[in-house]
Amino acid sequence: MNELRGLLQNNNLKIATAGVPLLADALSDQLVPISRIDWRPAVPGSQEALNRVMADGRRDGANSLALARMLAAGALLVDVRQAKDALGLEPGTFLHAGPPLTWERASGPMRGALLGGTIFEGIASDAETAEKILSSGGIDWEPCHHRDAVGPMAGVVTPSMWMFELLDPTTGNRSWCSLNEGLGKVLRYGAYSGEVIDRLRWMREVLGPLLKLAVQRRNESPAGPIDVQAILAQMIQMGDEGHNRNRAGTLMFLRDLLPDLIESGAANSDVATSARFMGGNDHFFLNLVMPACKLQTMAARNIPGCSVVTVMARNGTDFGVQVSGTGDTWYTGPAEIPVGLFLGSYTEKDANPDIGDSAITETAGVGGFAMAAAPAIVRFIGGTVPDALAATRRMYEITVGENVSRGIPVLEFRGSPTAIDVTRVIRTGILPQINTGMAGRIAGVGQVGAGLVNPPMECFEGAIQGLAQAAPQVG
Amino acid sequence: MNELRGLLQNNNLKIATAGVPLLADALSDQLVPISRIDWRPAVPGSQEALNRVMADGRRDGANSLALARMLAAGALLVDVRQAKDALGLEPGTFLHAGPPLTWERASGPMRGALLGGTIFEGIASDAETAEKILSSGGIDWEPCHHRDAVGPMAGVVTPSMWMFELLDPTTGNRSWCSLNEGLGKVLRYGAYSGEVIDRLRWMREVLGPLLKLAVQRRNESPAGPIDVQAILAQMIQMGDEGHNRNRAGTLMFLRDLLPDLIESGAANSDVATSARFMGGNDHFFLNLVMPACKLQTMAARNIPGCSVVTVMARNGTDFGVQVSGTGDTWYTGPAEIPVGLFLGSYTEKDANPDIGDSAITETAGVGGFAMAAAPAIVRFIGGTVPDALAATRRMYEITVGENVSRGIPVLEFRGSPTAIDVTRVIRTGILPQINTGMAGRIAGVGQVGAGLVNPPMECFEGAIQGLAQAAPQVG
C-alpha cells in the first residue's frame, strides 16, 4: 500500500472507474474527479447474443415504455370470488406456483400442497388415495401465471378456494391471488394435515364469503375500492418491503376493510374471529401485494424488443423467468436453496429449493429490491442494516429506472429500483435479490425458515438467447 | 488549508477531540487514533452551580437508577373512565397542559380551549359568557401533570371527558390522557366552534362508552390488557417516532382493540363509525403514547441527587421542566415559536408559542429523540433525512443511556437516547429536540402547522441552580 499513499493528492490524476460504484462513490465523496465507465465482462457464453440484443434499436424505447407502463399500473381490490368463478377453474384442475411441472419432478412441498388440495376438494379422503390420483394423471394442473394469477410458495389453487380479484384501471387487466392462511403448518408450505384442511374449510365457509360481502360494500361506498398500490406505497414508508414483511400493509388493509365488514350484516362472532385471524398474520397482505405486482408486470408484457423481465417464479424444482420481448416463453434453471435463518432446530438440510410466485414482488421493484426500506427484517434472515442498503443499491445496477411513488426513506426517498433488464444482468453478472420463506423439503413439514435467494444465471442466459433470436437480423 | 495537508499521515500524531463527535468520528473512520475529551464550556452563569452538582457523589448512581426505572416501567391500558371518576375532577375544575398559568397570561389557543371546555360542560352556552366566567375566577384549573395526567396541545380536560387509564405494573403508578379528537379544528388546538363541541359530545356519548366496553372485554380475555409499551417498541420499527407520527401505533391499537369492540354488544353502526373515526386519525394513538411515557418518567421521580428531567411541558406561554432530584418544582422560561411547515396559507406570524404536555414523549426518549426512526416525517417539518439522523445522534450527548427495546433500525438498532441529564445540557449547551404541532395564536383558529422546537435554556439554568441548592454542602 505504501507506494499508493498520497496517490489521491496528485491533483492531475485522471481516474476512470468500472464495475460496482463503491470505489467511484468513495472517491467522489472525497471530491476526487472521476469518470465512471459502464463496462464489465459479460457472463461467459452470452457475449454474442448480448451484442445482438444491444444492437437492437428498439430496445431503449421498449424498455422505457415497459417502465412507464409498470409505473402507471394501478391495483384496486374489486372482488373476492371462488377460483371456479373468477378463473373458470374446472373441477379436477388445480393451479400451482412457478413454471410448468410434472408430478415426477415435483418437490416435497409441491406434492404436499397438491395432496392437500385433492383432499380439500373432496376428491380423495386421505393422502394415500390422493397420491394415487395425482401420480396417475387424475388431476390437471398448470401454472398460476398461465391464468394471470399468482400463488405464494407452492401456490396451489383449487376450484373452491376464494381469490382476491384486483383490477388495473389503466389497462383493464385483472389478476388474482388466494387468501393467506398464516404461517407454520399451512398448505402453501406443503403441509396437509387435518388442521390445515380444517383451516382451509373455515376460510371457504366463513372468511371468503365475509370478505366478499365487505369488499362489495366498500366498493359501493363513497370511498370506492381499496387501492392496493396506495397501501403498498405507504408500506415502504413503514418498514415493510412487501415480500417477507407485510405488517404495516396488513394493518392498513384491516383499517380500510373492517368498518364495512362490521356493517356487512354478518354475525359479529364471525366478524371478530375473521378480524383476529387476519390481524394475527402479518403476512395476510402479501396475497394482495402479489397480484398488485403482477398487474404492474402484465402492463409491460409483449413489447417487441423489450428486455425487461415480466415474471420470476419458482415451482420448488425450477426457477422460471419470462421477458417482455419474448412473450410467455419460460426460461428456466434449477431453483436454489435460500440462505438465511431457520425456525427451531431446522437446518439447511431440511430446506427445499426456492418455491413460489412471490418473486413477482421483486419483478415489480419491491421485496428484496426495497430491502433498504425494511432494515428491521434483515435480522430475521441473518443480515445487517448495511447489507440491506447495499442490496437495494446493487439492484439499481440491473434495473431500468426508479419508482418515485415508492421512495425509500433511508435513501433520502430515492425511488425503489424497478424493471429488471436482462441485458444488465448479463453484462454485470449481478443477479436479482429475492427475499423468501423456506419450505421443508419433505411433504407435510411446512415452513422451516426465511432468507435470501437468487435466480440461477441460466434463466437470464436463456432469456438473452431468446431475445437475440427475436432481434432483427443485422450485418 | 495547505499547511494541514498530509497532517494525518504523521503516524506519531496524538489527537484529542472535544465537543460534538463529528470530527472524532471522521478521524476514527480513517483509522486515526484519537482521545475523546468530554469538555465544553458550560452555559454562562451556571458554572458554579454545575460544579456543585457535579461534585454531588450521589449523582451518577441516582441517574443510573432513574434510567433503570424508566426502562423498567410498563404501560397497560386498564380502563377508560370519565375524568370526574378517574381523577376526581370536581365540577367547575379543569386541567390544562404545561406549568401553572393565569387567565391573564394565557395564550389564544389556551383561552380558546378553556372557552370550549366551559361550553362543553354546559357551564356557559356561548363564548362571551364563558369568557366572563373564566376571567372572573368562576372556573378552577391546574396542570394535568399535578394529577399525573398529560394533555396534548392546550391539554384542557373537563370532568365529563373520557380518559385512557394506563397502569405501570412495575410501580403500580397510573397515568391518564383524554381521547384524541383528530386534526384541524379541534379543542386542543384552541378551536371551540359548534362542530368542535358536537364532536366532543359524540365522543362523550358514543366513543368513550364503546372504548370502555371494549377495553373491559379485552382485559377479561386471555390476551389481557393492551400493552402500550410493546406497541411503542414496534412503532419505532415502523417509521413512527411517537410524537408527530403515530400511524403504525394507531393501526396496531385498532387491530388489538377492534375484535373486542365488535363483540362488545354495542350497535354495529356505532362500532363502524368509531372504527372509521379512529382509523381516520393517524394521531389517535398519541394519547396512549403520552401517558405511557409519563409512567416512565413518574418511575424516575424524587430520587435524591438525580439530575434527570422528569417533565417537559408547555402551556403556550411558559415552558416548564421538572427534575427528579428536586421533585415537583417547576423551572420555567418563555415558550418559543416552533420552526417548521405551515398548513395552507398560514405563516409564522399565525403560530402560537410552543404548547402541550406532548414533550413528555421526548422526556421519555421518543419523539424528537427518535427522529432517526421516522425519516418519513422530516419532509412534513421541512427537514432532510440526514437532519433526522443528526437530531437523534445529538440527543445521545445529553442523555444518560439508551433504551434497547426501542432499537432504531437505521442506526443499526442502537437504542433510542433516554433520560435527559440537566448537567449534560448545561455542559454542552445542546437543548432537547422536540417535534410538535403548531396552534394558531388566535383563539378558535386550530392547527396551523407542525415543526421543531427547543425548550428555553432558562429552564435548565433554573434546574441546575435548584439541584445545586439540593446538593450536599461541601468545602
pLDDT at A467: 98
Query: Which amino acid is located at B268 in the chain?
Result: N
Q: Which of A262, A276, A409 sits opposite B376 (nearest CB)?
A: A409
pLDDT in tens, B176-209: 999 999 988 899 999 999 999 999 999 999 999 9
CATH superfamily of A74-289: Enterococcus faecalis V583 domain (3.90.1710.10)
Question: What mean pLDDT value characterizes chain A?
Answer: 93
Residue B47: is its pLDDT beyond 90? yes
pLDDT at B132: 98
Q: Map residue B290 onto helix, strand or coil.
A: helix
Task: Tell me which DSSP letter residue B343 carries.
Answer: S
CA A468 – CA A326 distance, rounded (Å): 10
Cβ-contact B241, B227 below 8 angstroms:
no
pLDDT at B124: 97
Q: Hey, are the CB atoms on B248 and A255 less than 8 Å from each other?
A: no
Mean pLDDT of B313-322: 98
pLDDT at A462: 98
**Reported confidence tier of residue B376, pLDDT bands at 50, 70, 90:** confident
Phi, psi at A415, each rounded to 5°: -65, 150
Q: Hey, are the CB atoms on A262 and B268 less than 8 Å from each other?
A: yes
pLDDT at B380: 73
CA B156 – CA B150 distance, rounded (Å): 10
* The pairing of beta strand B174-178 with beta strand B447-453: unpaired
* The pairing of beta strand B355-356 with beta strand B309-315: antiparallel
Cβ-contact A228, A78 below 8 angstroms:
no
**A183 CB-side CA count, 13 A:** 17
Q: Hey, are the CB atoms on A409 and B247 less than 8 Å from each other?
A: no
Using CA atoms, how far residue B382 sits from B340, B378, B430, B451, in Å, is: 6, 6, 21, 8
pLDDT in tens, A352-376: 999 999 999 999 999 999 999 998 8
**Reported confidence tier of residue B9, pLDDT bands at 50, 70, 90:** low
Question: What mean pLDDT value characterizes chain B?
Answer: 93
**Reported confidence tier of residue B29, pLDDT bands at 50, 70, 90:** confident
Q: Which of B247, B272, B375 sits opposite A259 (nearest CB)?
A: B272
Mean pLDDT of B364-382: 88
Listed residue (B226, B206, B268, B221) closest to B77, CA to CA: B226
CATH superfamily of B75-289: Enterococcus faecalis V583 domain (3.90.1710.10)
Residue A123: is its pLDDT beyond 80? yes
CA A189 – CA B333 distance, rounded (Å): 62
pLDDT in tens, B31-40: 666 776 666 6
For residue B71, give the C-alpha cell.
Answer: 426502562
pLDDT at B3: 54
pTM for this predicted structure: 0.90
Fold designation for A50-71+301-470: v583 fold (3.90.1700)
How far A268 CA sits from the closest chain B CA (Å)? Answer: 6
Residue A224: is its pLDDT beyond 50? yes
Instruction: State CA A265 to chain mean position distance.
Output: 35
Mutation target for B interface from A31, A237, A263: give the one with most B CBs within 10 A. Answer: A237
Residue A81: is its pLDDT beyond 80? yes
For residue A309, give the C-alpha cell.
Answer: 423481465
Which carries the bigger pLDDT value, residue B472 or residue A2? B472
How far A379 CA sits from the closest chain B CA (Å)? Answer: 10
Mean pLDDT of A118-137: 97
pLDDT at A28: 73
Residues 408-467 of B with CB under 8 A from A: 409-410, 412-413
What whole-number percentage of chain A has pLDDT above 70?
A: 93
Mean pLDDT of A283-310: 98
Q: Map residue B380 onto helix, strand or coil.
A: helix
Q: Which of B237, B251, B262 sits opposite A376 (nearest CB)?
A: B237
How far A263 CA sits from the closest chain B CA (Å)? Answer: 6
Residue A231: is its pLDDT beyond 90? yes
Would you call B25 an interface residue with chain A, using a CB distance cutoff of 8 Å?
no
Would you call A249 an interface residue with chain B, using a CB distance cutoff of 8 Å?
no
For residue B235, give the C-alpha cell.
Answer: 412503532
Cβ-contact B395, B428 below 8 angstroms:
no
What residues of chain A lie within 8 A of the CB of B271, using their CB? 262
Would you call A254 an interface residue with chain B, using a CB distance cutoff of 8 Å?
yes
SS3 string of chain A?
CHHHCCHHHCCCCCEEEECCCHHHHHHHHCCCCEEEECCCCCCCCCHHHHHHHHCCCCHHHHHHHHHHHHHHCCCEEEEEEEHHHHCCCCCCEEEECCCCCCCCCCCHHHHHHHHHHHHHCCCCCCHHHHHHHHHCCCCEEEEHHHHCECCCCCCCECCCCEEEEEECCCCCCEEEEECCCCCCCCHHHCCCCHHHHHHHHHHHHHHHHHHHHHHHHHHHCCCCCEEHHHHHHHHCCCCCCCCCCCHHHHHHHHHHHHHHHHCCCCCHHHHHHHHHHHHCCCCCCHHHHHHHHHHHHHHCCCCCCCCEEEEEEEECCEEEEEEHHHCCCCEEEECCCCEEEECCCCCHHHECCCEEHHHHHHHCCCHHHHHHHCHHHHHHHCCCHHHHHHHHHHHHHHEEEEEEEEEEHHHCCEEEEEEEEHHHHHHHCCCCCEEEEEEECCCCCCEEEEEEECCCHHHHHHHHHHHHHHCCCCC
pLDDT at B1: 43
* Residues in Cβ contact with B44 at an 8 Å cutoff, skipping those fewer than 6 apart: none
What residues of chain A lie within 8 A of the CB of B409, using their CB? 239, 375-376, 385
How far B211 CA sits from the closest chain A CA (Å)? Answer: 16
pLDDT at A1: 43
* Residues in Cβ contact with A1 at an 8 Å cutoff, skipping those fewer than 6 apart: none
Per-residue burial over A37-74, b = 16 or more CB atoms within 10 Å of its CB, e = otherwise: eeebebbeebeebbebbbebebbeebbbbbbebbbebb
For residue A79, give the C-alpha cell.
Answer: 372482488
Give the N- to C-terminal CA distance of chain B in Å, as an integer: 48
Which bin fits B316, alpha (ψ -120 to 50), beta or left (φ > 0)? left
Mean pLDDT of B94-113: 97
Beta bridge partners of A176: A149, A165
Task: Provide CATH 3.90.1710.10 ranges for chain B.
Answer: 75-289
Which carries the bigger pLDDT value, residue B81 or residue A473? B81
Task: Provide CATH 3.90.1700.10 ranges for chain A.
Answer: 50-71+301-470
